[in-house]
Amino acid sequence: MLSIFTEFTINQLPLWAVLLVCAGVFLASLMDAIAGGGGIISVPTYLIAFSGLPTYYALGTNKLSAGIGTIFSTARFIKNGLVDWRLAGPGVAAALVGSMGGTWLQLRTPDIVLRYLLLAVLPVVATPRCCRWIRSISTSLETSTPSPQPIIPSPPSSTITLTVTATTTRVSPRSPGGASSTSTTAASATLSPASGWAMVR
Predicted TM-score (pTM) of the model is 0.54
Tens of pLDDT, residues 55-68: 888 888 888 888 88
Helix (H) or strand (E) holding 32: helix 15-34
pLDDT score, position 181? 57
Residue 68: what residue type? Answer: I
Instruction: Give tens-digit pLDDT for 96-120.
Output: 999 999 899 988 989 888 888 888 8
pLDDT of residue 199: 46
Q: How far is CA 53 from CA 9, 18, 115, 152, in A?
A: 16, 15, 12, 67
Q: Quick one: DSSP state of residue 37?
A: -
Per DSSP, what are the bridge partners of residue 70? none
Task: Please identify every stretch of the chain with a pLDDT value under 70, giving residue numbers as ranges.
Answer: 1-8, 11, 35, 133, 140, 144-201
Whether 24 and 45 have beta carbons less than 8 Å apart is answered as yes
Residue-level pLDDT at 79: 92
Strand, coil or helix: what is 79? helix
Q: Summarize pLDDT for 68-86 with one digit per residue, the tens.
A: 888 888 899 899 998 899 9
Q: List all residues 6 or more positions away from 19 whose beta carbon is below 8 Å from its beta carbon.
A: 5
